[in-house]
């Protein structure tokens, strides 16, 4: 009898660790307010609980790396392709495939090895003060190096990954030498040493500290929808100019996601990834995050529509991410602090 009891006890102990909770662990560089409503919809429909951990984008990548094979993370959501490529290069992601990914994510907006995909599109155009800039004489990023714009341009520092990816895309399309010459010319036209974030560049244009800024459109959208009347007032003084519409198109980037290499709940992570590509999730992103949806059957927000339609770059973003180190060295050589 004692032997039978011990045998049953041992079997029950062995079985318990094999039973997984119906959950998924998400590490997200998106703030809780910008992602949790979508996660709540997913949980309501699937019954899968989402354990959300938010934090700094680079810190989350380091955390997964440090946790190694014992990491509880099933999925990483982060901003900018440069960070997704970095996570891949560190061996933190695994290949994923699904019919939903094949249907909804254009090839140039996902990793060639299927280790990450785009969730939303971000555009980084020129923003300007309409009373001080004649847009008929400004149609390309290259023209920002002209002498007539000396002391008139604001942009954030070279340490910002959005700028690094923008320069990476130029290297991929124009070559290193041409891009270096462009970066030197841009630096020569700075109104001030780079400081602050994209909102600060927009506010500087509104305040007359410069006439032109380079910034992501979702920052301007956020300011226009802000509860802060001063932000709204500043945003209304700035207009969007879509450069390079006659050739390669305006630079775009993404927010994206990948399933971690040691995901303990891979099937649930795949279900969540597919849900984030669904029409309802994409519609929420478009309306509340100020970003462009991947899906053509999802409408842009009214604010984004007010910026006008534009032609976007069409280069593979995995190649853009791979140029990040080269871009950073080039920007340093150009004197972009």
Q: Which two tokens stand for residue 278?
A: 């669904």
Q: How would you class 270 by CB atoms within 10 Å of its CB: exposed for 0-12, middle for 13-18, buried for 19 or more?
A: buried
Q: Give the closest residue to 256 by CA, choosing from 40, 69, 75, 50.
A: 75
| Pairing status of strand 252-259 against strand 117-123 | antiparallel
CA–CA gap between residue 333 and residue 331 (Å, rounded): 5
For residue 285, count other CB atoms closer than 10 A to its CB.
26
pLDDT at 20: 55
Q: How confident is the model at residue 12 (pLDDT cuts 50, 70, 90)?
A: very low
For residue 88, count other CB atoms closer than 10 A to its CB.
20
DSSP string, 132-159: T--GGG--SSGGGGSGGGTT-EE---TT
Q: How confident is the model at residue 202 (pLDDT cuts 50, 70, 90)?
A: very high
Could you read off the pLDDT of 266-279 as tens digits, one per residue? 999 999 999 999 99
Under the phi-then-psi rule, with left for phi > 0, alpha for psi from -120 to 50, and beta for the rest, what region is 208?
A: left
- Average pLDDT over every residue of 191-209: 97
pLDDT at 13 over 70: no
CA atoms within 13 A on the CB side of 315: 25
Domains identified in the chain and CATH numbers = 21-122+252-299 (3.40.190.10), 124-251+317-333 (3.40.190.10)
pLDDT at 290: 87
CA–CA gap between residue 282 and residue 297 (Å, rounded): 10
């Amino acid at each position: 009898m004692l032997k039978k009891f011990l045998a049953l006890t041992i079997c029950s102990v062995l079985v318990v660790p094999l039973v997984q909770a119906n959950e998924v662990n998400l590490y997200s560089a998106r703030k809780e307010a910008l992602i949790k409503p979508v996660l709540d919809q997913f949980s309501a429909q699937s019954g899968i609980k989402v354990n959300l951990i938010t934090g700094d984008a680079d810190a989350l990548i380091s955390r997964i790396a440090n946790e190694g094979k014992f990491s509880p993370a099933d999925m990483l959501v982060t901003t900018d392709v440069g960070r997704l490529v970095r996570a891949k290069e560190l061996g933190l992601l695994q290949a994923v495939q699904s019919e939903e990914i094949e249907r909804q994510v254009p090839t140039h907006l996902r990793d060639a090895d299927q280790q990450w995909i785009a969730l939303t599109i971000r555009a980084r155009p020129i923003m300007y003060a309409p009373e001080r800039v004649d847009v008929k004489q400004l149609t390309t990023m290259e023209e920002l190096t002209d002498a007539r714009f000396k002391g008139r341009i604001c942009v954030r520092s070279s340490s910002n990954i959005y700028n690094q990816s923008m320069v990476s895309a130029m290297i991929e399309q124009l070559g290193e030498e041409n891009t270096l010459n462009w970066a030197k010319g841009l630096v020569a036209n700075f109104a001030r040493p780079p400081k602050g974030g994209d909102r600060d560049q927009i506010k500087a244009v509104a305040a007359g500290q410069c006439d032109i800024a380079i910034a992501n459109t979702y920052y301007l959208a956020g300011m226009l929808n802000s509860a802060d009347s001063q932000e709204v007032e500043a945003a209304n003084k700035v207009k969007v100019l879509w450069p390079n519409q006659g050739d390669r198109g305006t630079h775009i980037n993404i927010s994206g996601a990948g399933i971690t290499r040691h995901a303990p709940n891979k099937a649930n992570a795949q279900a969540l990834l597919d849900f984030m590509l669904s029409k309802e999730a994409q519609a929420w992103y478009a309306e509340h995050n100020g970003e462009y949806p991947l899906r053509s059957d999802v409408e842009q927000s009214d604010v984004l529509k007010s910026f006008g339609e534009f032609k976007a770059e069409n280069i593979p973003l995995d190649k853009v991410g791979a140029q990040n180190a080269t871009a950073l060295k080039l920007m340093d050589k150009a004197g972009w602090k």
